[in-house]
Amino acid sequence: MAADLGDLNAFVAVARAGGFRQAGRATGLSASALSETVRRLEDRLGVRLLNRTTRSVVPTEAGRRLLDRLGPAIGEVEAALDAIKSLIDRPAGTLKLNVPVSAAIMVLPDIVPAFLKAYPDIVLELVAEERFVDVLAAGCDAGIRYEERLDQDMIAVPIGPRRQRFAAAASPAYLAQRGKPKQPRDLLQHDCLRGRGSSGALLPWEFERDGEIVMIDPPGPLIVNLGAAVEVIVQSAIAGTGVVFLFEDWLRPHLDSGALEPVLPDWWQEFSGPFLYYPGRRHVPAPLRAFVDFIKADRALPIGDRAAAQAS
């Protein structure tokens, strides 16, 4: 027999308080509303639950039995609601993000350790892949992608560097043997280390200077699917196999160490940095809300304060 949870709560409140007025003060409902609610419950059950006099309200035998059974159940419901509220006060649970490999390597290492330290009850799960997915259908809470690949109905929050560049580079030994290209089309005479996108297509190399854009499809001895295998072309470039074309941030450690030398740096094209994106909805999961607030606060810090905060 179905019974409304609100009606059962009203009965428990009145039975515990010993009266409709007392229960009204505890629940914020009027005594008449509580009386009508309990009467409706009794009619539905076909049994009297409370004996009412001008001086007291006392459960009947049926009422006592119902109260004995309902008390622990309502306590469990209240505990469950308190647990949900605690997620707001102290976010906990799993946050699952779908991210490109480039973000996993270049963006998240500067964010994740400090975030997990700030929110020890959150488990962060990363799915690194290049294909663009429906984050909800993939079982993820949010993703990281670039602006040109975001749907209009997504909420987008800047994460990581706001400006990035693609860079071409090769080892000193390779350039000493083959010569340095003077302009992008010179790369058509070089060994170029290529990558395929998630669609399977070879990605063209795009350069830009003073408003002039040059796109080339250079030849090369090595092709990899962009993702985890990208490091193969980086190490091949360092070994002198050919010219590599990747995010400048990805190549920066090798450029700084001298293992690689810049190729056509005046032509490196700049573009907008990545975004954290998630579907617009009224109630954002607490772990995701914590992550969004964290990256917003992190971006608001001056560089020196940001480094100090992550080290503390």
What does each C-alpha distance from 254 to 109, 110, 167, 220 come to in angstroms?
Answer: 18, 19, 12, 21
CA–CA gap between residue 90 and residue 310 (Å, rounded): 20
Q: For 283, what's the count of Cα atoms within 13 Å in the CB-facing half-sphere?
A: 3
User: Within this chain, do residues 284 and 254 fall inside the same structural domain, yes or no?
Assistant: no
> Is 126 a domain residue?
yes
> Is 65 a domain residue?
yes
267 phi and psi angles, rounded to 5 deg: -105, 5
pLDDT tens track for 206-233? 999 999 999 999 999 999 987 778 899 9
Q: What is the pLDDT of residue 92?
A: 85
User: Within this chain, do residues 175 and 111 fall inside the same structural domain, yes or no?
Assistant: no
Are the beta carbons of 189 and 273 closer than 8 angstroms? Answer: no
Q: Residue 25 class from Cβ within 10 Å (0-12 exposed, 13-18 middle, 19+ buried)?
A: exposed
> Is 158 a domain residue?
no
CA–CA gap between residue 257 and residue 239 (Å, rounded): 14
154-158 vs 275-279, strand pairing mode: antiparallel
Q: What is the CATH number of the domain that holds 107?
A: 3.40.190.10
User: Within this chain, do residues 210 and 260 fall inside the same structural domain, yes or no?
Assistant: yes
Q: What is the pLDDT of residue 282?
A: 61
> Is 18 a domain residue?
yes
Q: What is the pLDDT of residue 301?
A: 37
> Is 15 a domain residue?
yes
Mean pLDDT by 10 residues, the chain (312 residues): 72 86 84 89 88 83 86 73 61 91 90 94 90 79 82 84 94 97 97 87 93 95 86 96 95 97 97 88 81 81 39 42
Helix or strand holding residue 35 (H, E):
helix 31-45
Helix or strand holding residue 124 (H, E):
strand 122-128
Domain assignment of residue 142, given as a range: 94-153+275-311
User: Within this chain, do residues 172 and 263 fall inside the same structural domain, yes or no?
Assistant: yes
Are the beta carbons of 295 and 276 closer than 8 angstroms? Answer: yes
Are the beta carbons of 49 and 41 closer than 8 angstroms? Answer: yes
> Is 172 a domain residue?
yes
User: Within this chain, do residues 260 and 296 fall inside the same structural domain, yes or no?
Assistant: no
User: Within this chain, do residues 173 and 112 fall inside the same structural domain, yes or no?
Assistant: no
User: Within this chain, do residues 232 and 260 fall inside the same structural domain, yes or no?
Assistant: yes
Query: Residue written as tokens 């962060």?
Result: 124
User: Within this chain, do residues 39 and 79 fall inside the same structural domain, yes or no?
Assistant: yes
Q: What is the CATH number of the domain that holds 63?
A: 1.10.10.10
Q: What is the CATH number of the domain that holds 239?
A: 3.40.190.290
User: Within this chain, do residues 73 and 134 fall inside the same structural domain, yes or no?
Assistant: no
Three-state SS for 263?
strand
Q: What is the pLDDT of residue 28?
A: 84
Q: What is the pTM of this model?
A: 0.64
Three-state SS for 211?
coil
Strands (E), 137-263: 142-145, 154-158, 163-170, 192-196, 205-209, 212-216, 222-225, 243-247, 261-263
Number of domain units in the chain: 3
